[in-house]
Amino acid sequence: MNEAKSIWMDGKLVPWKEANVHILTHTLHYGNGVFEGTRAYKTDKGMAIFRLQDHAKRLINSAKIVAIVPTYTQEEIAKAHIDVLKDNAFNGNVYLRGIIYLGYGVMGVYHKNAPVQTSVAAWEWGAYLGDEGLEKGIRVKTSSIVRNSTKSLFGKAKAVGNYLNSQMAKFEAIECGYEEALLLDENGMVAEGSGECFFIVRNGVLITPPSDSVLESITQDSIITIAQDLGIKVERRNITRDEVYIADEAFFVGTAAEVTPICELDARVIGSGRRGEITHKLQNAFFDVVYGRDEKFSHWLTYI
């Protein structure tokens, strides 16, 4: 991966190669920790973090859900993101990874006596699903693995342990020759990708699933807001897999994925098999926002 100069760890900027944890770190063994993915874009006015406060707030909320008491406030975590960007000389767009985890000190399933630690790392990272994917779209496979059930895990927490499910779904998709996975929920309705939210377009209407069993997505909320500003009708409702097959357009959104068209699901071509008109319109509008070219949404940007 693209290494940087430093990582923020519990209030200090530590050289990248010295940002280490003990092998008996509690989160490593038992999977209880929470994280965030945030992007910063190189705009004409300098580096800008997209929806920083929303990401910092969700990190704090995730910790509360999994019974971890943060040692830093939302404001302090947001400032840590800014400090990391200021200390590293980035030449391109940046991905930031904030994480609250349980460190070294105790073992055993009971976690409350483990020390709570916080870090923010940043590195240059381009399109998660490839620059070509942003234009031509990607091939997706419905996973044999369903999204974590709300009966057993907390879907509203961006929790470390939740992502084993996503890893296995992504692994299966790639091994089968696809670029990404689409997970259904326990009722057979579309939930999300391995790390992205999902949209389809039918008859000019933008449709996305409710957040019943998945994370409350900041990028999904951004796209819905942008779409409504553009006069596009939006529906939040359940989507079946076969409805995706006959959709006019489909795409993933997420901090990493941004707005990535889907050209195929389960060997069925979606629409024309290329990036659709509404997808393209939303993609352009989204990049105008994150690059600071749309003043209506300038409040979403924190300039460094």
As annotated, the active-site residues are 158
Rounded to whole angstroms, the Cα distance separating 244 from 300 reads 31
Q: Name the token pair of 246.
A: 């006959």
Rounded to whole angstroms, the Cα distance separating 179 from 177 reads 7
Residues 6+ apart with CB under 8 A from 209: 189, 190, 191, 192, 197, 198, 236, 237, 238, 239
Q: Is the dihedral angle over the CA atoms 98, 18, 128, 149 positive or is it negative?
A: negative
268: left (phi over 0), alpha (psi -120 to 50) or beta: beta
Rounded to whole angstroms, the Cα distance separating 70 from 73 reads 7
Q: Name the token pair of 118.
A: 């916080």
Q: Name the token pair of 57.
A: 């707030």
Rounded to whole angstroms, the Cα distance separating 7 from 19 reads 7
> What's the gap between Cα 142 and its chain centre?
19
Closest Cα partner for 208 from 179, 251, 176, 158? 251
* Strand locations in 82-196 (E): 94-102, 116-124, 138-142, 180-184, 190-193
